[in-house]
Structure 1
Amino acid sequence: MRQGCRWLLVATMAAIGLLASGCAGFNPSRPQGQWLEDEEIQQLTETGTIFPDHSYYYLGSITAPDSFIAIDNHWQLRTRVWAGVEMTPQRLAGWLQWYRSEHDSGCEYRGGRILAPDGRQVGYWYSQNRFNTIYMPETGVIEVYKPHNGAGRVCGEPGFDGFFPGRD
């Protein structure tokens, strides 16, 4: 019985540690927005729609970025990871062609909306990675972090096998 209690104590402490480390990045004093999937935005993006009055940013290579976002020009993006780019129909078509040819099961490209903490729409996203952290450190300023697929994993990086590792 003593060994069973010891195991329960170790398991409980491990669970508390995991929960605490998972919440370490959350800062309740900084208003947090949302990165929401939206099938309509995905379809608009995949048919080559360029959103007017938006500035575009990408992650990765300019010829084949991992993700891109379009931020409404009424907002200022504060970032250390996103690079600005002049979006043209030709560039978007090239990116979409690359995405179609590099499709990886478990890491499908999705699209969606970026919302401010008060629910106002800030912009749009297109990425294999379905989760993100969005902060509004001050009025009119938005921070969009590098998207991920849960537990800090990123599609396309070495060691990522999609949502179900080892399954095709």
Structure 2
Amino acid sequence: MDIRIVAIHEAGHAVAVERLGLKLKAVTVVPKENIGGTVHHNDTLRRLKRTGDDSDRERLKAERVIMLCLAGPEAQKRFDPNSDWEACGESDFAAAAELSRHFFGEGDSAVAFMEWMKVRTCDLVGQNWSLIEHLADQLIERKTIGGDEAMLLIKRRRAKELGAEKEFDALLAALHVDAKAGA
């Protein structure tokens, strides 16, 4: 598969992690078995399955994870609608559907909920497209990026787009963080 498509897909997931306030551990475009890349993050899905908690608080957490799952295929579809984004996102869609079923079962409300999550994810990807492209460029060049560094890349790029790059760098300097890591 084209490395740019894999990078866009994984960057879509990673940017969603950052924008939704989740914890990113790493992102890579190094193929493993039959997958082109992966994003490692705190796995809320496993904890939900373990506890069986279906409270409103947990549903809101699940919504963020569902959007994270859908963001990779959505970014890939936006980049190249003719790519095999549905097949590439098969495990992503399965994880999102499993979370949805946990809260809504198999009925009409589950279908409507997933459609709502798709709309929200499409908006999230569109609003953060330049961040996704920037991170994808970095992934193509570096192949694997640790979570903290990927988060820094995303935040620094966002600061630059908002015209606050100097302030961001000053804050990093005050915190003794290498500002060039996010360049």
Question: Normalization by structure 1: what TM-score?
Answer: 0.26
Structure having the larger proportion of residues in strand? 1
| Larger RCO, structures 1/2 (Cα 8 Å, 6+ apart) | 2
Q: Which has the higher helix share?
A: 2
TM-score, normalization: structure 2? 0.24
